[in-house]
Structure 1
Amino acid sequence: MATIDGSSVKKLIVACDAGMGSSVMLASQLKKQLAKSGVTVEHSPVASIPSDADVVVTQAGLADRARGVVPGVPVIPFQLFLGDPSVAALVKAIQNGDSIEV
């Protein structure tokens, strides 16, 4: 497993496949939660994830594709668009400057 230093995350990408409104809603929620942390949150199709991303959050079924697009960038897979424990743990690590294993 890799470790992410929450204090080093400056650009978080929410990647999706079909432009579903749910992932846009998640990106909006993360923007609000991380606004005070100075983290840029962007929404992107999984095939076009920017190479300067510090971390990618994507639906579990897309995680392997995301890893193929940006090898070396940590990918946080989730099951639930709202209230997923993996995403909540990442947000907490960024807000507190903690480390998190992925």
Structure 2
Amino acid sequence: MSSIDGSAIKKVVIACDAGMGSSVMVASQLAKRLKPYSVSVSHTPVNDIPEDADVVLCQATLLARARKSTGDTVVLGFQSFLGDPVFDRVEAAIRDGGSLDD
């Protein structure tokens, strides 16, 4: 299990499978939410997750693939592209400085 303090999060990556449409949408929405905290949000294919990602978010079906290539990075899954509680959880950890565990 990996963990990071919310105050240390500076880069969140949304990892997707083949297409980029839905991950672009999620990245855009999350970037607006995290802008006040100076956290960058980007999107990438699950097989190309950058090493400098602090937190990776992906569909729950991609968790195993994402964790395989990220080492100790916190990787969280979501079920829904809109309104999933994981997005609130990430924002709360960044805003309040709490621990974020996968």
TM-score by length of 2: 0.92
Are 2:17 and 1:17 equivalent residues in the alignment?
Answer: yes
- What's the CA shift for 1:69? 1.1
Runs of 4+ in 1 over 4 A off after TM superposition: none
The correspondence of residues 13-92 of structure 1 with structure 2, limited to 5 A, is 13-92=13-92
> Alignment identity in percent?
53
CA separation in 2, counterparts of 1:16 and 1:69?
13
Deviations 1:31-71 (A, max 9, x none): 00000111111100000000111010000000110111111
CA separation in 2, counterparts of 1:72 and 1:22?
26
Query: Gapped runs of 5+ residues in structure 2?
Result: none
Instruction: Give the root-mean-square deviation of aligned CA atoms.
Output: 1.2
Partner SS, residue 56 of structure 1: strand
My pick for the range that moved more, 90-99 or 48-57, is 90-99
Count the aligned residue pairs. 102
AA aligned opposite 1:42:
S
Contact between 2:30 and 2:87, CA under 8 Å: does it hold in 1? no
CA separation in 2, counterparts of 1:3 and 1:48?
21
CA separation in 2, counterparts of 1:9 and 1:80?
23
Query: Gapped runs of 5+ residues in structure 1?
Result: none
Partner SS, residue 75 of structure 1: strand
AA aligned opposite 2:11:
K
